[in-house]
Each structure stands twice: as structure tokens, then as C-alpha cells.
Amino acid sequence: MVEALAGSPAPKLSDNLRGRQLPHIGVLSREELHEVMALGAWFRENRYDMTYADLLKTRVQGLLFVYESTRTRMGFTSAMAQLGGSSAYLAAKDTQMGRGESIVDTARALNQYIDVLSARLWKQEEMDLACENMDVPVLNGCTPVDHATHVIGELMTIEQTKGRLEGLNLVYTGMARGILHSFIRVCPVLGVNLTLAIPESYAETVNQDILAEGKAKAEASGTRLEICTDLKEAVKDADYIQASTLMRSMLAGEQSPEEKRVEVPKWTVTNEVLACAKPDVLYTHSGPAHRGVCATDEVMDGPKSQIQAEALNAIFSKKALLALMVK
């Protein structure tokens, strides 16, 4: 149990992930995922333990972001600082990428300056190219089909508050963005039943290759992976509701064709929706949260909300990855 970690001795860090790349969450095995989450939980429960306070002293993390961030950016920055390293934030528009330089040439240049790159990029292909052209670890800080570091923190929150992952029924609701695709890849590996509660028009935007990969993993592991286009129906057996941004326009400022067909009130998590789930259901939101659209104030600020626990785990999931991966 997570509670037993408080005050426990500092774990020995393995070299299983040392120097590895993290283009997407699917490259991590079940054992590696558990290793990362266990270390992250130890860091959270022993946050003032100084054993690894200088682990990454003199190491520099580059943060290359093509668009804004709160939780991911601060999670990476705080994690690196707590390990004794430093971070340099690079808004892509303020680098030579803003003048048209390719990700390949940018990555090759950054490879000379930093010890790890945490990147938020428009395309998964760009993330893959960054990994291929750098000798230092590259961590996915969000692409349209993956948000590895954030989802590990979300899974840590579920395990922290429920005491386990295996056998739980998780409902994801929101856009078909990186977070959704990471859940598809990883939930069957960890024994979690996953229901994607998304508007019918959004089902068209789910990456079909990743969905097929997830279904194959679910069949192999004996878990359930399904799409449901009715929120109240989707949550009827839910142990956990994991919400994300409902409308792309809330991120990019422009409305997509798919969201023009969404009846927003049907997809807002309310106390009435929570009442359709198990009595001990919990709710959280990966952010950015838009009140009255993704969920009501009563849900976001209510006793079932784990939003702040998730925001905190955004530090410790990344801290674990940095401690295990940076050379």
C-alpha cells in the first residue's frame, strides 16, 4: 500500500531505463511502468528526503514546447530542480523553429547543450525524429497521440486513492487527444478496464492503429476496452472518471468540425452523472479544466474530486522518469 511508503528507506535506482528514449508510453513494459510509478510514489511520500537531492547536479533539461502548458511545464521544472538539476524553457516559436528550422536540425543542436529533452510537439513524427537524432533521453511531454509522462502521474493518482490499479473500471471522457491514446496503450497492460466515453463525432478522431493495438493488448490480458457514446451509460460501473478537455477550441482557439456536433450538456460531468456510477467513484481532470463544460463546480470542488492530488503527481511521475533515465 502507498501509505507504507512514508518514512521508508530510499530505494536503489536501477539502470533499466538509463539513457532510454520515451517517444510514447507504449515503449514501457508492465514491469518498467510499475518501477516508475513505485519510485514516483516514494518521492511523493518522502518529498523532503534528501538522498537524491543532488542526483542530477550539473545536468540540464531542455523544455521544448510548441504551445502553452501549466502542469507539464511546472512538473518537469520542479522535478528537475528537486533532483539538483536545472531547466531551460524553450518556446518553439522563440527558437529557430519559429523561422522554419526542422526538428531534426533543432534536435541535433540541442543534443550538444543538454542532458535530457522534454518536448511538447505538434506531431508524433516530430517526436520520433527528435528521439532518432539525439543521444540524450527525449521524453514525450505531449503529442496528439501520446502524453506519457502525464498519464503516468494520473495512474499514480488512481493507485494512490484506490490502493490498486488491476481490476478497476476507468472511464475517460473528453477529446481524442494524447491522454486518451496513452490510456488505450497502457491500461490493458496494467489490468485496468477502460471505457472511452466520447461523443460519436469524436470516435472518428481516435487513432485507429493505436485503438487496434489497445484492443489486442486487452484481449491478451483479459481486460475490457470499449467506446461508449453515452456518458451516463459509460459510468455505470466506474471506479474512476478521468476527464480531459472536451473541446479542441478551448486549447487551440478554433472549433473543429467534430465539436460542432457535440451537445455539451450531455458531456458535462455533474453530480447526476456521478450518481450513475459506483457509490465510491472518484473524479479527476487532467487539465486545463473548463468549469461548466468539462464538469460543474460541485464536481470539481466536491468530495470525490482528486484534481489537486493529480496536479501534485505531475511532479513525481516526471521526477521518477528523470531519476531513472538521465545519464
Decide: 148 and 139 in contact? Cβ < 8 Å: yes
Residue 100 has pLDDT above 80, yes or no: yes
- Residue 164 burial (10 A CB sphere; 0-12, 13-18, 19+): middle
Residue 209 has pLDDT above 70, yes or no: yes
142 vs 67 pLDDT, higher one: 142
pLDDT at 249: 61
Average pLDDT, stretch 130-141? 98
Decide: 108 and 129 in contact? Cβ < 8 Å: no
Could you read off the pLDDT of 306-321 as tens digits, one per residue?
Answer: 999 999 999 999 999 9
pLDDT at 258: 76
Average pLDDT, stretch 198-202? 94
Domains of the chain plus CATH, in order, are 2-146+312-325 (3.40.50.1370), 164-306 (3.40.50.1370)
Could you read off the pLDDT of 20-50 as tens digits, one per residue?
Answer: 999 999 999 999 999 999 999 999 999 999 9
Could you read off the pLDDT of 61-84 as tens digits, one per residue?
Answer: 999 999 889 999 999 999 999 999
Average pLDDT, the chain: 94
Could you read off the pLDDT of 243-300 as tens digits, one per residue?
Answer: 998 877 666 666 778 777 889 999 999 999 999 999 999 999 988 888 999 999 999 9
Decide: 146 and 28 in contact? Cβ < 8 Å: no
Measured distance CA(20)–CA(152) in Å, rounded: 17
Measured distance CA(110)–CA(114) in Å, rounded: 6
How many C-beta atoms surround the C-beta of residue 156 within 10 A? Answer: 26
Measured distance CA(247)–CA(324) in Å, rounded: 35
pLDDT at 1: 39
Secondary structure, 3-state, 229-289: CCHHHHCCCCCEEEECCCCCHHHHCCCCCCHHHCCHHHHCECHHHHCCCCCCCEEEECCCC
Could you read off the pLDDT of 3-25 as tens digits, one per residue?
Answer: 447 788 999 999 999 999 999 99
